[in-house]
Amino acid sequence: MTSTTSTSTSTSAGIGAGAPAAGGAAAEPARASSSAPLDGPWRDPALPAAERAAALVAAMTPEEKIAQLFGIWVGASADGAEVAPHQHDMAEPVSLDELLPTGLGQLTRPFGTAPVEAVAGARSLARTQRTIVESGRFGVPALAHEECLAGFAAWGATAYPVPLSWGASFDPELVREMAARIGDDLRSVGVHQGLAPVLDVVRDARWGRVEETIGEDPHLVGTVATAYVQGLESAGVVATLKHFAGYSASRAGRNLAPVSMGRRELADVVLPPFEMAVALGGVRSVMHAYTDIDGVPSAADESLLTGLLRDTWGFDGTVVADYFGVAFLETLHGVAGSRAEAAGLALAAGVDVELPTVDAFGPALVAAVRAGEVDEALIDRAALRVLTQKAELGLLDPGWDPEAPLARADDIDLDTAGNRALARRLADEAVVLLRNDGVLPLAGALPLTGAGSASGVGRGSEAGRGTAPRLAVVGPNADTSAALLGCYSFPAHVGSQHPDVAVGIELPTFAERLREAVPGLGAVVAGCDVDGTDASGIPAAVDAARDADVALVVLGDRAGLFGRGTSGEGCDAVDLTLPGVQQQLLDAVLDTGTPTVVVLFTGRPYALGRAVTEAAAVVQAFFPGEEGAAAVVDVLTGATTPSGRLPVSVPAHPGAQPSTYLQSPLAARSAVSDVDPTPAFGFGHGLSYTTFDWDVVVPGGGDGPLRVPTVGEVALEVTVHNTGDRIGADVVQVYLHDPVAETVRPGQRLVAYGRTPQLAPGEQAVLEIVVPVDLASATGRDGLRRIETGALQLRVARSSSDVVAAVDVEVTGEARVVDHTRRLTSVVTVR
């Protein structure tokens, strides 16, 4: 979703500032009505939500119905006064006083526009809701939405790891638990809808929004995102899938660029995660993408938003516009000649709500409906969906009270100890050890202190330590908290525009956490900036490394918006070289001959040059959140055994893009091209400090291929033994290889995975994996999805490039066409 770089007229002076915001208590505006709202069937909670909504739509004027179809971007007041509109340069200024007599559909980001303390923000939102209810004839509150991609994007709320770290964890259950906590926090302050998760499958790692994605594999993206949806919805908050569809496949990885994609890539790579979240997640909202595919913008694509999403998949929630996306039909895509025409196209396609503020769905649409240029039935259809959802949320109930979230207003805490512990667990599981020549963990020689790590492995437990090595810590990301946070975290997204306001959460840097574990650690030498061109600081970093026994080189990204960072929305990369002169710094340290440990805090994978073979170790963390520094330090020191796996391939060369592991044979290395796309570290790769042996059994299997009908399934048992001397968790991955098919298929693709619990030395876990043959289906030449007969192979693997066992399968019977009712995922049970 797009943000704006302009400032708000409603921003407060700071957290707890005494001056009221515009539109607040100091200037109470006149309202159109103070009488009781009109009564009718819509007030009866005993009736079905759709029936209540239909009665309300029938009673409304066109203006009142259209008012339910747009939001207003607002900012909550720091002193609890009413919200005020956020004025920006992408839309005309709005006046709540003028709009409220006809009602209001949504309130956009009351907590995510400027820093505001939770209790004050909740009071401000509640006061505004009261005014909205009192101003219109029917007393319908607005639905409030917020960003929640890496936690509730509000001041003082927990900053969790970004979605790319969710993918690295290979742990949907933990992601579900995180999302439920985020939902509880949203509900505690009166927010009804969260704009997450992102289900875009990475197709080109140069794209700036890779950090917001879960990875480059649709099965991983779909299963993890569905878990997030289930968690958020379990808290009573409407989850929003984005961006539907194809946004991540933009040409050259440029934000908002056109998409060149065939229908099979769309059907087999891009759409499955969305289909899974709709069918299995219970999601109630979908956001259209900015993209146009083959000349048709998503916001005007009736076959996508209605034919596929609703008529085929059975989605019955609301479709919301990506910010300013309806107007873009006129201003960017050129398929509409006016705002009213853009509104008509979007409504006909199936867009129900214009966000973030009223524009195309404003007076021009009202006039077009009155003139018969836009069918009022389209307005009725969208209003019915919006009001049905409001009825389901209880917003039409006679007892609805905007003050309800303030029942415990004195102790609203958006960053509880429980939140932080969960953020830590997820960060622990998401750290990926890419390379290690034995230098890690450092616990055998370091004088570690502290009570223990979040994983339950005590610090300093090893006997026989030698003399502590001298550590040099260099690099631009070593001593900055910005290294930990993604673009949609509140401190990066909004807080960066308010430098005089405290960050609102405890956010220690990597160096600060390392000093807690290693007393006497020397000064950090940055060597260079994240994205600067000044290399004059590199000699000092080299001197520090040369005088040390081990050099920790901490590199990576700084998240930002529209060019203000090296990762994030609008921060696309020309190639996958480390930003700025960081590769020059890394090479200079490697030249010293000092064992070098590379620590990466990034939002995308980068080519690491010589470090792939010459560094002593490489540790990858994808913007791991407020507890991420501690998680990485614990991996380095051995307090935690790493268990993360790559959700995206790490390239060997910076220019080998676009490329993911889902390659067809023609995309692999060949003798007819001098560009080798083979990754340095493949999808699913990740090392450990302990060792695991696997026993793979096929129950009922015998000599030769396992014969399975097209309606059948394959059962596997994988027993994982911890044969090392450290506690640790392992991740089992199953890939499908289809050697001969009607259309070109990737060499392999993920169809199942499972994470073991923490296993002590000598312990084991058994993973029972059931893979339905439905997962072998793919789109044929005629556009139909079918299961073909013939040979398949299931590969039980540690990664896409490390296969442990292969199970040959013969699919028998008749080829079978399947649809949206097919089985979408494997079943994995761990015991």
- Asked if the model's pLDDT at residue 63 lies above 90, the reply is yes
- Asked if the model's pLDDT at residue 219 lies above 50, the reply is yes
Contacts of 94 (CB under 8 A, 6+ apart): 72, 85, 87, 357, 358
C-alpha to C-alpha distance for 641 and 634, rounded to whole angstroms? 8
- The stretches of 592-667 forming alpha helices (DSSP H) are 611-614, 628-637
Q: Which of 473, 480, 578 is nearest to 527 (CA)?
A: 473
Strands 790-799 and 802-812, bridge-based pairing: antiparallel
Contacts of 311 (CB under 8 A, 6+ apart): none
Q: Are 309 and 299 in contact (CB under 8 A)?
A: no
The average confidence (pLDDT) of the chain is 91
Phi, psi (degrees; rounded to nearest 5) at 552? -100, 115
Q: What's the length of the chain?
A: 831
- Asked if the model's pLDDT at residue 448 lies above 80, the reply is no
pLDDT tens profile 678-732 = 999 999 999 999 999 999 999 987 788 999 999 999 999 999 999 999 999 999 9
Q: Which of 486, 487, 481 is nearest to 504 (CA)?
A: 481
> What three-state secondary structure class fits 9?
coil
C-alpha to C-alpha distance for 47 and 56, rounded to whole angstroms? 13
Q: Which of 337-341, 450-454, 626-630 has the lowest mean pLDDT?
A: 450-454
Query: Quick one: how far is CA 293 from the chain centroid?
Result: 23
C-alpha to C-alpha distance for 431 and 165, rounded to whole angstroms? 8
Q: How many C-beta atoms lie closer than 10 Å to residue 133's C-beta?
A: 20
C-alpha to C-alpha distance for 118 and 391, rounded to whole angstroms? 26
C-alpha to C-alpha distance for 151 and 162, rounded to whole angstroms? 9
- Asked if the model's pLDDT at residue 362 lies above 90, the reply is yes
pLDDT of residue 34: 52
- Residue 298's identity, in one-letter code, is S
Q: Are 140 and 107 in contact (CB under 8 A)?
A: no
pLDDT of residue 818: 97
Instruction: Grade residue 2 by pLDDT with cuts at 50, 70 and 90.
Output: very low
- Asked if the model's pLDDT at residue 454 lies above 70, the reply is no
Q: Which of 393, 386, 356, 327 is nearest to 60 (CA)?
A: 386
Q: Which of 311-320, 657-666, 766-775 has the lowest mean pLDDT?
A: 657-666
Q: Are 478 and 600 in contact (CB under 8 A)?
A: no
**For the stretch 586-619, what's the b/e string if a residue is b when 16 or more beta carbons lie within 10 angstroms of its beta carbon?**
bebbbebebbbbbbbbbbbbbbbbebbebbbbbb
Q: What share of the chain is helix, strand, coil (3-state, %, to 5)?
A: 30, 20, 50
C-alpha to C-alpha distance for 153 and 189, rounded to whole angstroms? 13
**pTM for this structure?**
0.94
pLDDT of residue 657: 75
pLDDT: is 445 or 187 the higher one? 187
β-strand partners of 73 = 108
Q: Are 665 and 744 in contact (CB under 8 A)?
A: yes
Query: Quick one: how far is CA 385 from the chain centroid?
Result: 26
pLDDT of residue 22: 31
C-alpha to C-alpha distance for 290 and 258, rounded to whole angstroms? 9
Q: Which of 624, 592, 577 is nearest to 483 (CA)?
A: 624
pLDDT tens profile 278-295 = 999 999 999 999 999 999
What are the structure tokens assigned to 616, written together?
A: 């002593």
Per-residue pLDDT, averaged over 121-128, amounts to 94
- Asked if the model's pLDDT at residue 474 lies above 60, the reply is yes
- Asked if the model's pLDDT at residue 820 lies above 80, the reply is yes
- Percent residues over pLDDT 70 in the chain: 92
Angle at 141 (CA atoms; ends 139, 147), nearest 5 degrees: 170
β-strand partners of 259 = 250, 293
Q: Which of 151-155, 443-447, 456-460 has the lowest mean pLDDT?
A: 456-460
Q: Are 485 and 491 in contact (CB under 8 A)?
A: yes
pLDDT tens profile 9-54 = 333 333 433 332 333 333 333 344 456 889 999 999 999 999 999 9
pLDDT of residue 446: 55
C-alpha to C-alpha distance for 26 and 135, rounded to whole angstroms? 19
- Percent residues over pLDDT 90 in the chain: 83
Per-residue pLDDT, averaged over 449-456, amounts to 39
Instruction: Grade residue 467 by pLDDT with cuts at 50, 70 and 90.
Output: low
pLDDT of residue 444: 53
C-alpha to C-alpha distance for 221 and 245, rounded to whole angstroms? 14
Per-residue pLDDT, averaged over 605-622, amounts to 98
C-alpha to C-alpha distance for 123 and 78, rounded to whole angstroms? 9
pLDDT tens profile 496-525 = 899 999 999 999 999 999 999 998 898 999
C-alpha to C-alpha distance for 626 and 88, rounded to whole angstroms? 30
Q: Are 652 and 606 in contact (CB under 8 A)?
A: no
C-alpha to C-alpha distance for 480 and 509, rounded to whole angstroms? 5
pLDDT of residue 443: 65
Per-residue pLDDT, averaged over 134-162, amounts to 97
Per-residue pLDDT, averaged over 352-359, amounts to 96
Q: Are 550 and 514 in contact (CB under 8 A)?
A: no
- DSSP states of 243-310: EETTGGGBGGG-TT--B---HHHIIIIISHHHHHHHHHH---EEEE-S-EETTEEGGG-HIIIIIIII
C-alpha to C-alpha distance for 699 and 711, rounded to whole angstroms? 18
pLDDT tens profile 246-271 = 999 998 889 988 898 899 999 999 99
C-alpha to C-alpha distance for 155 and 799, rounded to whole angstroms? 39
- DSSP states of 24-76: STTSPPP-S--SPPPPSGGG-TTS-HHHHHHHHHHHS-HHHHHHTTBEEEEE-
Q: Are 192 and 233 in contact (CB under 8 A)?
A: no
What are the structure tokens assigned to 640, written together?
A: 């935690």
What are the structure tokens assigned to 465, written together?
A: 């330590």
pLDDT of residue 558: 97
pLDDT tens profile 542-582 = 999 999 999 999 999 999 999 899 999 999 999 999 999 99
C-alpha to C-alpha distance for 580 and 607, rounded to whole angstroms? 13
Query: Quick one: how far is CA 768 from the chain centroid?
Result: 29
Q: How many C-beta atoms lie closer than 10 Å to residue 374's C-beta?
A: 24
pLDDT of residue 408: 61
Per-residue pLDDT, averaged over 778-792, amounts to 96
- Asked if the model's pLDDT at residue 463 lies above 50, the reply is no
Contacts of 488 (CB under 8 A, 6+ apart): 147, 149, 150, 153, 162, 212, 568
